[in-house]
Structure 1
Amino acid sequence: MRHSLPLAPQFYVTAPQPCPYLEGRMERKLFTSLQGDSAEQLNNSLSKQGFRRSQNVLYRPSCADCAACLSARIRVSDFRPTRSQRRTINRNAHLERRATSPWATEEQFSLFRRYLDSRHADGGMADMDVFEFAAMIEETPIRSRVIEYVDPEAGLKAAALTDVLDDGVSMVYSFYDPTLERNSLGTYLILDHVEIARAAGLPFVYLGYWVPGSPKMGYKAKFSGLELYHAGRWEGMNDPADYDSTTHPLKSDPIAEQVANITLPDTRAPRR
């Protein structure tokens, strides 16, 4: 009887480009495609190792001399809202949550454009058109949902593209009405996802990357129960000031060593 090993995913590295979080630095990503029958298993496994999904790609920062980006997740059992966060929940209590299939709508795109034009006009997604937006929402080989937040009298006010993992929910991308600054909708979406995960019995809410020294990412450090993927393992966040973003040529392991240390799921069919 001939035996064969399962096909392992192939990993690639992007060309260096300016970092969107820390001025004067260059970013590089390690990535692999997410496709086939084992896509969900691969996404579950690599999400636990600091990877993020973008359409049918899984990626993780792999910069040559900087290791500032740290994958962050909230441990639901240890989360306790602050007084300010409780006020945010109360201010948005009128919003109705609606979970839908990952299908893009004109209303979503209109809100998305207003959000980008106000908050990220110079970002990498600034020129995204309706077709690219639809691809971002709809091109997913795994369990994904669009969580909409609707004002019954004024329509869609916020939305999040959310993946359902075997140990949590992952907030892939969220956007909201930029004119409702007092409502702190970005914070509210995270708070509500904690409740979504809690109700589903899932232990984590994955938030993407926290970057010490980046004002854009500072808000993530305000959530209790936060864990960071650091040096190959998850650890509870200490004082944010304990993490630095200095560069050093030995900060990151060589690409071959990084790939060798990635744990892949066993996708072989069970014996009968």
Structure 2
Amino acid sequence: MTAPFRFPRFFVTSPSPCPYLPGKQERKVFTELVGVHATELNDALGRIGFRRSQGVAYRPSCAGCTACVSVRVVTPEFRPNATQRKLLKRHADIEVTPCRPWATDEQFQLLRRYLVSRHPGGGMAMMDEDDFAAMVEHSPVNSLVMEYRAPAKYGRRGRLLGACLTDRQADGLSMIYSFFAADEEDERPGLGNFIIMDHILRAREAGLPYVYLGYWVKGSRRMAYKVRYRPLEVLGPTGWRPLGDRELETQDLRELA
């Protein structure tokens, strides 16, 4: 007989500077993912906008601000546009391997390069090997690391171009964190976009209706890439609904190309 499902206890963090909107304070509500029902709890919380970090599920709970909106791609209806089709063709030679969630030095070195190139002053800039191992390996749910490699040569594995820590939920794939060779954009442009599209196509092939992309903040350049994948649903007070074109009117259209 299994243990009865217990309603989780939730906690709230202290306010801290918002990484997306200058002058704003962020606060999160969170709960631990522990016990035999951790996977079920993570699935249920994922459907109402929570994200996972190691053994914790969290979501924004900021006083007077609702700018962070959960978004997910509807995989059965996704159709790549001309730019996305070109990108898929350009990177068709990349070898993709689902790996168990075990951190490697090769992954960590790629992450360091990615952070230096894209987020030099971000909250993860000081992450060391132990921090990275904890991020990847401390998962109470069904997780994997998707590795993206250049074609193998002379019987040897190709170099690592990208990776994504991914959770498989009951209704889709949740992209927890992805990183890639951003310093090789001239040689391999659009790697981050390719990783997202690969997840969308894999989820669709597996019969999973959604790919969860985390939070979108309208007007944030760092978040603009997420609305390139349509149809996209956003989570509002009454549940999930399609993101309308009018909601993007103030977004710089050059960011959506």
TM-score by length of 1: 0.86
C-alpha distance after superposition, 1:34-53 (max 9, x if no partner):
11000000000000000000
CA distance in 1, matches of 2:126, 2:4: 43
**Structure 2 residue corresponding to 1:221, chosen from 220, 223, 227:** 227
2:194 paired residue number = 188
- Residue identity matched to 1:106: D
1:34-49 paired onto structure 2 within 5 Å: 34-49=33-48
2:239 paired residue number = 233
CA distance in 2, matches of 1:132, 1:145: 17
- Residue identity matched to 2:79: R
CA distance in 2, matches of 1:175, 1:141: 22
Across the aligned residues of Structure 1 and Structure 2, the Cα RMSD in angstroms comes to 1.6
Shift of 1:229: 0.6
- Residue identity matched to 1:133: F
CA distance in 2, matches of 1:213, 1:243: 7
CA distance in 2, matches of 1:172, 1:241: 24
1:54 paired residue number = 53
CA distance in 2, matches of 1:207, 1:30: 19
2:87 paired residue number = 88
- Residue identity matched to 1:30: V
* 8 Å Cα contact 1:79-1:224 kept in structure 2: yes
Indicate the percent of aligned positions where both proteins have the same amino acid: 49
Structure 2, unaligned stretches of length 5 or more? 252-257
Q: Which has the higher contact order (CA 8 A, sep 6+)?
A: 1
1:21 paired residue number = 20
1:69 paired residue number = 68
- Residue identity matched to 2:109: S
Shift of 1:78: 1.4
2:175 paired residue number = 171
Q: Does 1:107 align with 2:114?
A: no
Aligned partner of residue 96 in structure 2, secondary structure: strand
CA distance in 1, matches of 2:104, 2:198: 22
Shift of 1:5: 6.9
* 8 Å Cα contact 2:113-2:183 kept in structure 1: no
CA distance in 2, matches of 1:111, 1:24: 32
Shift of 1:76: 0.5
* 8 Å Cα contact 1:49-1:232 kept in structure 2: no
Shift of 1:77: 1.2
- Residue identity matched to 1:195: L
CA distance in 2, matches of 1:208, 1:180: 25
> Could you say if the C-alpha distance between residues 136 and 187 of structure 1 is closer, same or farther in structure 2, counting changes exceeding 3 Å?
same
Aligned partner of residue 179 in structure 1, secondary structure: helix
Aligned partner of residue 140 in structure 1, secondary structure: coil
* 8 Å Cα contact 2:145-2:163 kept in structure 1: yes
* 8 Å Cα contact 1:22-1:213 kept in structure 2: no
* 8 Å Cα contact 1:104-1:137 kept in structure 2: yes
Aligned partner of residue 133 in structure 1, secondary structure: helix
C-alpha distance after superposition, 1:114-165 (max 9, x if no partner):
0011111100110000000000000000000100001124410000000000
CA distance in 2, matches of 1:35, 1:181: 40
C-alpha distance after superposition, 1:78-114 (max 9, x if no partner):
1111111111111111110000100000100000000
TM-score by length of 2: 0.91
Shift of 1:223: 1.0
Structure 1, unaligned stretches of length 5 or more? 245-272
C-alpha distance after superposition, 1:213-267 (max 9, x if no partner):
11100111111110001114000000233689xxxxxxxxxxxxxxxxxxxxxxx
CA distance in 2, matches of 1:222, 1:35: 35
